[in-house]
């Protein structure tokens, strides 16, 4: 069997959460246990010191009466029923042993050292811990002095600390048992808790696993509690909604593109078949078929170039060649290009007052933007109509209005005309050679220059497309104006 599932388990957040939680608990319990052990041991030791000092004082209080039979008295005292084994010895101020109990004699034969003697003679009690051979626990040795008449005596009390050590040992053993037990409880509690906390994540993952491009309308279930997992589910739902929208757009886009290309291809194929079937030797028939083929090919190349440009624009892959340019000159050039076309269509092209405006932009893209708008104005304005170009600039932006007196656009369609392949009247647009991409490209050029494009139109009365472009630092309305680029 492979060991992979085991590793997957160890990588799971539930395992890691439980592990961290348990480690924290372990550190905390160990620190608490250590602290309690230390404090407990210290206070027991403190209590014991007090107890031994008190015992020494008691012995000293009775000592004068028993001085003649002192050794016997020590024996009696040290043989009493005591929790701690106590033994005593009596010394003179020079440290010479005068009497001692048997246990003291058996276990401690060292003479009193100078420091203890000095402290006792100065009236302080002196405590020290000592190890004696053959004894597994420490002893507490307390040295005190007392006076009998003019004579000073020193009493040393030796307490065996075995009961205290065994208490501490038991305390330690309890800690050693309790900590693993608590760690186990922590692990189980942590595991159960993290399982409960992470359940929404599993639910999100389970639903998300089943969402594919074919069912992007599905959404993740939300708890509506407002917690982090609910926010995560909401964010993912928003993301899925955006994906769904993009996917729909993409599908629509592909279907529209296929549809747009199928028409010219059908025409090319039809023309070729007719020419082939005609079986004529008349070159004009073939010429007409070839001319039509070239026309439709041009149309397809136009559509494909526009599609390519828009898809590159979507991925920000279009390089803009920005330069400082005079917008009034550019508008004059575009107007000149369209003047003949307008005249041929029986239209008047008027260029209003163009203030001298310098801005930073891509000359050929901006040319394309205004050319698209003028092209539409020519296409959708019946003969006898008028097209006007006007320009207004302030310190922050410049606005260019391209107005016509054409067929206009119904109110409910005005927002849609900037969508790809959208045309108000497909049949009419096809006649005029439009594919519904011109305004999409115009809007992209405007926005990529930091500007925007808006339309005001009334069916039958005409349309005005307004392009607003920002004037950045160093690009502002210049002093004075250039003459209008010539009115027809």
Q: Note the residues at the interface with ligand ADP (CB under 6 A).
A: 372, 376-377, 380, 404, 406-409, 417, 422-425, 429, 434-440, 463
Class of residue 56 by CB neighbours under 10 A (exposed 0-12, middle 13-18, buried 19+): buried
CB atoms within 10 A of CB 96: 11
Q: Provide the minimum distance between the beta carbon of 216 and ligand ADP in the complex, in angstroms, as a whole number.
A: 28
Pairing of strands 355-362, 322-326: antiparallel
Phi first, then psi: give them for residue 267, nearest 5 degrees: -65, -45
Closest to ligand ADP by CB, 358 vs 463, is 463
Closest to ligand ADP by CB, 307 vs 409, is 409
Closest to ligand ADP by CB, 420 vs 449, is 420
Distance of CA 310 to the CA centre of its chain: 32
DSSP output for 80-143: SS-SS-EEEEEE-TT--EEEE-HHHHHH--PPPPHHHHHHHHTT--EEEEE--TT-SS-EEEEE
Q: Provide the minimum distance between the beta carbon of 450 and ligand ADP in the complex, in angstroms, as a whole number.
A: 21
Q: Provide the minimum distance between the beta carbon of 233 and ligand ADP in the complex, in angstroms, as a whole number.
A: 39
The answer to whether 213 and 247 have CB atoms below 8 angstroms apart is yes
- Residue 119's contacts (CB-CB under 8 Å, 6 or more residues apart) are 125, 126, 143
Closest to ligand ADP by CB, 108 vs 338, is 338
Closest to ligand ADP by CB, 33 vs 408, is 408
Q: Provide the minimum distance between the beta carbon of 371 and ligand ADP in the complex, in angstroms, as a whole number.
A: 11
3-state helix, strand, coil in the chain (%, to 5): 60, 20, 25
Q: Provide the minimum distance between the beta carbon of 12 and ligand ADP in the complex, in angstroms, as a whole number.
A: 53
Helices (H), 153-227: 162-209
Closest to ligand ADP by CB, 100 vs 420, is 420
CA atoms in the 13 A half-sphere facing the CB of 131: 4
Closest to ligand ADP by CB, 146 vs 370, is 370
Q: Provide the minimum distance between the beta carbon of 459 and ligand ADP in the complex, in angstroms, as a whole number.
A: 9
Distance of CA 472 to the CA centre of its chain: 34
Q: Provide the minimum distance between the beta carbon of 434 and ligand ADP in the complex, in angstroms, as a whole number.
A: 2
């Amino acid at each position: 069997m492979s060991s992979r599932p085991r590793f997957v388990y160890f990588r799971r957040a539930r395992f890691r959460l439980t592990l961290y939680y348990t480690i924290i608990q372990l550190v905390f319990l160990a620190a608490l246990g250590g602290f309690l052990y230390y404090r407990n041991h210290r206070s027991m030791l403190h209590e014991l010191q007090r107890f031994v000092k008190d015992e020494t004082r008691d012995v000293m209080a009775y000592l004068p009466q028993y001085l003649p039979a002192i050794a016997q008295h020590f024996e009696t005292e040290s043989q009493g029923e005591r929790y701690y084994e106590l033994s005593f010895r009596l010394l003179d101020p020079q440290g010479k042993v005068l009497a001692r109990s048997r246990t003291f004699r058996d276990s401690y034969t060292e003479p009193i050292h100078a420091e203890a003697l000095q402290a006792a003679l100065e009236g302080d009690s002196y405590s020290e811990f000592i190890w004696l051979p053959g004894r597994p626990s420490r002893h507490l040795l307390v040295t005190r002095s007392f006076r009998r008449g003019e004579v000073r005596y020193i009493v040393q009390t030796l307490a065996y600390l075995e009961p205290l050590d065994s208490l501490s040992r038991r305390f330690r053993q309890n800690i050693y048992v309790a900590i693993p037990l608590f760690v186990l409880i922590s692990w189980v509690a942590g595991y159960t808790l993290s399982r409960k906390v992470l359940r929404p994540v599993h639910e999100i993952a389970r639903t998300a696993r089943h969402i594919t491009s074919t069912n992007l309308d599905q959404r993740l279930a939300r708890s509506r509690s407002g917690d982090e997992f609910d926010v995560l589910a909401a964010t993912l739902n928003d993301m899925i909604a955006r994906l769904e929208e993009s996917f729909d757009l993409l599908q629509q886009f592909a279907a529209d593109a296929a549809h747009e290309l199928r028409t010219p291809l059908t025409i090319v194929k039809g023309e070729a078949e007719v020419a082939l079937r005609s079986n004529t030797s008349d070159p004009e028939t073939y010429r007409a078929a070839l001319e039509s083929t070239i026309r439709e090919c041009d149309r397809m190349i136009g559509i494909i170039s526009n599609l390519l440009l828009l898809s590159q624009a979507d991925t920000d892959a279009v390089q803009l060649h920005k330069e400082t340019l005079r917008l009034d000159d550019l508008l004059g050039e575009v107007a000149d290009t369209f003047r003949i076309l307008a005249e041929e269509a029986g239209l008047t092209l008027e260029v209003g007052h163009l203030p001298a405006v310098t801005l930073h932009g891509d000359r050929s893209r901006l040319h394309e933007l205004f050319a698209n708008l003028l092209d539409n104005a020519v296409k959708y304005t019946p003969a006898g109509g008028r097209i006007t170009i006007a320009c207004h600039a302030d310190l922050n932006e410049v606005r260019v209005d391209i107005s016509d007196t054409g067929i206009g656009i119904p109110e409910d369609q005005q927002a849609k005309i900037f969508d790809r392949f959208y045309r108000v009247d497909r049949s009419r647009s096809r006649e005029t050679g439009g594919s519904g991409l011109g305004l999409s490209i115009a809007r992209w050029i405007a926005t990529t220059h930091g500007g925007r494009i808006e339309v005001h139109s009334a069916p039958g009365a005409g349309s005005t497309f307004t392009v607003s472009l920002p004037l950045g630092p160093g690009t502002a309305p210049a002093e004075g104006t250039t003459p209008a680029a010539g009115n027809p």
